[in-house]
Amino acid sequence: MIEPTGWDGEECPEPFLKWPGGKRYLADRIVKHFPAAHGRYYEPFVGSAALFFAHRPADAVLADKNAELIACYEQVRDNCEAVIRRLRKLKNSTEDYYRIRAKEPTDGAWRAARLVYLVKLAFNGIYRVNSLTGKFNVPYGDHEGRVVFDPEKLRRASRLLQGSKLLVADFEVALADAGEGDLVYLDPPYTVAHNSNGFLRYNTKLFSWEDQVRLANCAQDLADRGCHVVVSNACHKSIRSLYSSFRVHRIIRSSRMAADNTYRRRIAEYLFVSGSSGEN
């Protein structure tokens, strides 16, 4: 059993990327459901790695289907100073944004810097690519004056990533060798069986209902193998029915509507924790 590393007085490194569905603002409430000591930590829908950075495990498997994202983490882990040098050259203006967005660099550090830059300055911090060309297609977010990156944050992330195995993989592949005593945090794109919510409908292209069922079966299998499993998901009866043997918690967050910065609404999410059933 290993315990999370802690930061020896250093500031906690929150994610250096903003990501759709990112858990930065819920991380402290989710981490409370992680055991104090565990084996390897698995996060196969890593996105901005908000939970990884909040929990700071020494030994982790971080995976995602998004190859651009995983390549960025590899560069920050292994080649951080080169990424920082590249980022220092990128200016924040409308013209520079569209010029950089149009580029397709092959150099790893340059590619990683481009992703950090685009996600920071894109409209609403969205990561989205054209479904046919695969090219990043989010317009500039009118963030003139915004500081693009913090070198110290990248360096802290790099240090923490040293003990991590990074994989471009479907979640089932990434979890194949998880075993007794390991901790698995699952945060898939949110989809439900039937809904009229545009965001969830958009996500069904990325993560179908069949994927949700496959994930729930995988989570149950991991729990049966002795893993501690924590799952974030949409608060919907169709999802809840998939996790009948898990303990259920409801987490309330406030959500900003993309089109209106002033309108916020309260949204519930489910957190399923393996071990026992019931609702808190």
Ligand X SMILES: C[S@@+](CC[C@H](N)C(=O)[O-])C[C@H]1O[C@@H](n2cnc3c(N)ncnc32)[C@H](O)[C@@H]1O
Q: Which stretch binds ligand X (CB under 6 A): 4-12, 46-54, 116-124, 194-202?
A: 46-54
Tokens of 68: 């651009």
Compute φ and ψ for 60, nearest 5 degrees.
-140, 150
**Applying CB under 6 A, which of residues 14, 59, 96, 170 lies at the interface with ligand X?**
170
Is residue 23 within the footprint of ligand X (CB under 6 A)?
Answer: yes
**Applying CB under 6 A, which of residues 4, 13, 16, 22 lies at the interface with ligand X?**
22
**Applying CB under 6 A, which of residues 4, 44, 57, 125 lies at the interface with ligand X?**
44
What is the C-alpha to C-alpha distance for residues 159 and 60, in angstroms, rounded to an integer? Answer: 13
With a CB cutoff of 8 Å and minimum separation 6, the contacts of 134 are none
Is residue 45 within the footprint of ligand X (CB under 6 A)?
Answer: yes
With a CB cutoff of 8 Å and minimum separation 6, the contacts of 153 are 13, 14, 16
Shortest separation between residue 18's beta carbon and ligand X, angstroms: 8
What is the C-alpha to C-alpha distance for residues 96 and 141, in angstroms, rounded to an integer? Answer: 13
Nearer to ligand X by Cβ, of 65 and 120: the residue is 65
**Applying CB under 6 A, which of residues 4, 39, 125, 189 lies at the interface with ligand X?**
189
Q: Which stretch binds ligand X (CB under 6 A): 19-27, 73-81, 89-97, 268-276?
A: 19-27
Handedness of CA 9, 10, 13, 14 (dihedral sign): positive
Is residue 269 within the footprint of ligand X (CB under 6 A)?
Answer: no
Tell me, what amino acid is at 109?
Answer: A
Is residue 53 within the footprint of ligand X (CB under 6 A)?
Answer: no
Q: Which stretch binds ligand X (CB under 6 A): 41-49, 114-122, 223-231, 265-273?
A: 41-49
Is residue 50 within the footprint of ligand X (CB under 6 A)?
Answer: yes
Instruction: Give 148-182 as a DSSP string.
Output: ---HHHHHHHHHHHTTEEEEE--HHHHTTT--TT-
Per residue in 104-123, is it b (16+ CB within 10 Å) or e — as a string?
Answer: eeeebbbbbbbbbbbbbbbe
Q: Which stretch binds ligand X (CB under 6 A): 42-50, 72-80, 134-142, 153-161?
A: 42-50
Query: Residue for token digits 């520079």?
Result: 96
Sites of contact with ligand X (CB under 6 A): 19, 21-23, 44-45, 47-48, 50, 64-66, 170-171, 187-189, 206-207, 211
